[in-house]
Amino acid sequence: MFKVLKIGGSTITDKAKADCVRDEEIERIAGEILDQTSGLVLVHGAGSFGHIPAKKYGLPGKFSPEGLRITHASVVELNRIVVEALTEAGVDALPVHPLSCVLLKDGRIEKMEVDFIKEMVAGGILPVLHGDVAMDSSRRAGIVSGDQLVSYLAKALDAQTVALGTDVDGVLCSGAPLKEVTRKTLPDIESCFTQGPGTDVTGGMRGKILELLELADAGTTSLIFNARKAGMVKKALSGDAIGTLIRRSD
Ligand SMILES: Nc1ncnc2c1ncn2[C@@H]1O[C@H](COP(=O)(O)OP(=O)(O)OP(=O)(O)O)[C@@H](O)[C@H]1O
Ligand SMILES: [Mg+2]
């Protein structure tokens, strides 16, 4: 039984400042994950490590080999920090870089190797993926967001629990988190999306919901919750319905 957890770049970095990592958040979350690694696949967002260089080089709209290399190196560095914190907390974790196992077509994952991820999980190892740059068969190159990876992996692995931590209490409307979002209710909440303080080249909260609605269409409910609040990652992994549920319309 698989669980897919995403820790947003907004949780583990300050998205308004380049390369600004929140070590204390990563360490706390590593501790919350420790007892619940069975069947778990972890994805973390790119945060300021990815969104800021990507924007600087005009990705994903512009093809820039230098932009791809620099953005990839930056997200790999964040991934190294996350894997190291997990290791120090006592979790057996291994890095998985999407650039080396994903092919996009028109910005969407066309092919992704997942058998080795299953083998890691079967061996008691936590695979740690991240938002990354990737090659694209129709646009030469693009960006694969952590959110798209979650949606794809949850489908490919038929995950039972799918949770995405960010830095807000869920999908907010008039300051309060919504209980749920479906394709049917999306038009009613369009006015709730604001431009946050951080850089995000993959559509921010709205982009996240669109990815999760694709997963909901396939019958899998996911949740968006606040991973900056202590104890919430543990609750999300236990299957508690915290934050906002993204589910299929009745
Ligand atoms: N209606 C809304 N409800 C909640 N958050 C919103 C809303 N509209 C905009 N936002 C912004 O969306 C942000 C979360 O999305 P964002 O993509 O920046 O984070 P993330 O997915 O955690 O980071 P990353 O993409 O690096 O993984 C919040 O910090 C908030 O500023
Ligand atoms: Mg995002």
Q: 97: how many CB neighbours lie within 10 A of its CB? A: 17
Q: Residue 185 and residue 179: Cα distance in Å, rounded?
A: 11
The answer to whether the CB of 243 is under 6 A from ligand 1 is: no
Ligand 2 centre to CA of 43 (Å) is 12
Q: Residue 176 and residue 170: Cα distance in Å, rounded?
A: 8
Number of domains in the chain: 1
Ligand 2 centre to CA of 47 (Å) is 8
Going by alpha carbons, the residue nearest to atom 31 of ligand 1 is 196
Mutate to test the pocket of ligand 1, among 168, 174, 186, 202 (most ligand atoms within 8 A of CB): 168
Ligand sitting nearest the alpha carbon of 48? 1
What is the average per-residue pLDDT within 62-84?
98
Q: Which domain holds residue 103?
A: 3-246
Going by alpha carbons, the residue nearest to atom 14 of ligand 1 is 205
Confidence of residue 56 (pLDDT cuts 50, 70, 90): very high
Out of 116-120, 157-161, 193-197, 236-240, pick the least confident. 193-197
The answer to whether the CB of 210 is under 6 A from ligand 1 is: no
Q: Residue 204 and residue 190: Cα distance in Å, rounded?
A: 13
Residue-level pLDDT at 113: 95
Confidence of residue 148 (pLDDT cuts 50, 70, 90): very high
Q: State pLDDT tens for residues 178-201.
A: 999 999 999 999 999 988 777 788
DSSP 86-141: HHHHT--EEE--GGGTEEEETTEEEEE--HHHHHHHHTT-EEEEE-EEEEETTTEE
What is the average per-residue pLDDT within 62-73?
98
- CATH number at 201 reads 3.40.1160.10
What is the average per-residue pLDDT within 220-239?
97
Element (H, E) at 83: helix 65-89
Q: Are 54 and 143 in contact (CB under 8 A)?
A: yes
Q: State pLDDT tens for residues 198-224.
A: 778 888 999 999 999 999 999 999 999
Nearest to 189 by CA among 214, 166, 213: 213
Ligand 1 centre to CA of 204 (Å) is 5
Residue-level pLDDT at 250: 82
The answer to whether the CB of 198 is under 6 A from ligand 1 is: yes
Residue-level pLDDT at 198: 78
Confidence of residue 234 (pLDDT cuts 50, 70, 90): very high
Of residues 228 and 19, more confidently modeled: 228
Ligand 1 centre to CA of 130 (Å) is 16
Residue-level pLDDT at 45: 97
Going by alpha carbons, the residue nearest to atom 6 of ligand 1 is 205
Q: Are 50 and 131 in contact (CB under 8 A)?
A: yes
Q: Residue 24 and residue 20: Cα distance in Å, rounded?
A: 12
Question: Could you identify the atom of ligand 1 that is nearest to the CA of residue 196?
Answer: 31
Q: Residue 8 and residue 207: Cα distance in Å, rounded?
A: 13
Which structure tokens are listed for 155?
């489908």
What average pLDDT is seen over the chain? 96
Q: State pLDDT tens for residues 17-38.
A: 988 999 999 999 999 999 999 9
Q: Is the bond leading into 127 cis (omega within 30 degrees of zero)? A: no
Q: Taking the C-alpha atoms of 81, 89, 166 and 131 in order, what is their torsion angle to the nearest 10 degrees?
A: 40
Confidence of residue 158 (pLDDT cuts 50, 70, 90): very high
DSSP 158-206: T-SEEEEEESSSSSEETTEE-SEE-TTTGGGGGGG----SS--TT-HHH
Ligand 2 centre to CA of 118 (Å) is 25
What is the average per-residue pLDDT within 53-65?
96
